[in-house]
Amino acid sequence: MRDLTKKTIFLMSLASGKRRSEVAALVADHRHLQFADGFANVTLIPPITFRAKTQSASRPCDTWTIPALSQLVGLEDDRLLCPVRALRFYLDRTKDDKRRGPGSQLFLPLSPDVKTTTPNMVSRLICNTIFRAYLGDDDPADTDNARITAHEERALAASWKAANCVPLDEVLRTASWKNATTFTSHYLRDLCHQQEGLYSLGPLVVGQTIVHK
């Protein structure tokens, strides 16, 4: 359950390109989470009481639509990277949890004694997932603890999306940035040194877009 929770939060964070606070605020009921026919995608609607960091009081929360990989890939290894598939497994595994109910958070704390998932919890799970991915690597050049942050996953999601020729205004809208300077000055990453490893993964969902890297 611990590994499934971490994997699902990691894939959904990458697939949405949203902040940790936005991921923590997601709700599991049918008004806020809707699967398309054939599970081709999942639509997530943040609760009306939540306000994102750059969201004005008069503006409603953005609706997220996360596409699935399952219909595009034939190999099981590729399907394991599908955020919609992971979310379906996660919801099935947690459906009998006593904390599930009307308005319950989408992602439940790992400890049954903890009632609320916080943004800091989301960050810790993302960072732990990244760190564990490099265990056993002979030369984990980019895994200095100081560089493993939830913000870095968000930066890579936006950078991958931009590198796949998605218009800049869509990149900004997905990440809830008001101007391009925020992205180009603080989040844009050079992916050239990562290309060999990325191409071996197959398609990914980043920032609500399927990219083939």
The torsion angles phi and psi of 103, rounded to 5 degrees, stand at 80, 10
CA pair distance 104, 158, nearest whole angstrom: 29
pLDDT along the chain (213 residues), means of 10: 95 92 92 93 88 65 87 66 95 93 91 90 92 64 58 86 86 82 81 57 84 75
The torsion angles phi and psi of 66, rounded to 5 degrees, stand at -100, 115
Residue 190: domain span: 2-211
Provide the domain count of the chain. 1
The pLDDT assigned to 84 comes to: 95
Taking the alpha carbons at both ends of the chain, their separation in whole angstroms is 30
CATH code for the domain in which residue 19 is found: 1.10.443.10
The pLDDT assigned to 193 comes to: 55
CA pair distance 124, 196, nearest whole angstrom: 28
Residue with tokens 């799970």: 125
Are 13 and 150 a contacting pair, CB within 8 Å? yes
The pLDDT assigned to 139 comes to: 47
Are 8 and 87 a contacting pair, CB within 8 Å? yes
The pLDDT assigned to 77 comes to: 60
Question: Which residues lie closer than 8 Å to 148 by C-beta, 6 or more apart?
Answer: 127, 130, 131
Whole-prediction pTM value?
A: 0.83
The pLDDT assigned to 140 comes to: 47
The pLDDT assigned to 143 comes to: 45
